[in-house]
Chains A and B, each alone.
Chain A
Amino acid sequence: QKEVEQNSGPLSVPEGAIASLNCTYSDRGSQSFFWYRQYSGKSPELIMSIYSNGDKEDGRFTAQLNKASQYVSLLIRDSQPSDSATYLCAVRVDSSYKLIFGSGTRLLVRP
């Protein structure tokens, strides 16, 4: 069983819509969760981090964490074509400070 699971997509949404990206993880002891955006051929860029249950908002982005259900999600409001990228979920296994990445979800925002 993979430690961090994401739907590979592509997730296609129209411009202006809300894009919802989901991630589940297997290690109940995980405490740190990160969303990275990766454009094709580029390196991952940190978008958001979240450590506590609930929602965390930053501009058009909202990260949601539910430790009991072991999932973390990223909502992108007012999606723009420039948001088209692969979104990587990463979970820190705190015993080693190691980041475990999912395979990413490809998002396509249609003009």
Chain B
Amino acid sequence: EAEVAQSPRYKITEKSQAVAFWCDPISGHATLYWYRQILGQGPELLVQFQDESVVDDSQLPKDRFSAERLKGVDSTLKIQPAELGDSAMYLCASSLGPGGIQETQYFGPGTRLLVL
């Protein structure tokens, strides 16, 4: 069964350092999402790509976060500099897109970030 791949699975860093997360969506999925999930809360969308274009990055803290999907396949999310409040699970999801109401998102295993 096809899955969304993410790496690393865990990352510990010190504040002010740079971190990067990688995501490879399910083959053929045109839409890719990055979410942040703080402990005890639901996932919150950071950025959504349709192929290589950003569709929604309204919740992305652009002063420190950046995301790219250069060839419309895999994607990288970067944080520079990391802050203590960035400690969270970073989830990547993909869907066939653009679809109708039955469009379904499938999540990768996530990257758990701890900023010290």
Which A residues are within 8 Å of any B CB, using their own CB? 4, 8, 31-32, 34, 36, 41-46, 49, 51, 88, 90, 92, 94, 96-99, 101-104
Q: Which of B41, B44, B55 has the most A CB atoms < 10 Å from its CB?
A: B41
Q: What is the number of contacts between chain A and chain B, taking CB atoms within 8 Å? A: 59
Q: For B44, what are the chain A residues with a Cβ–Cβ distance below 8 Å?
A: 101
Q: Could you say which residues of chain B place their CB within 8 Å of the CB of A42? A: 109-110
Name 6 interchain pairs, CB-CB below 8 A, sorted by A.
A43-B108, A97-B48, A97-B98, A101-B42, A101-B43, A103-B42
B105 lies within 8 A of chain A by Cβ: yes
The CA of A101 and the CA of B106, in the complex, are separated in Å by 14
Select the residue from B48, B56, B101 with max chain A CB neighbours within 10 A.
B101
Nearest CB in chain A to that of B105: its residue: A99
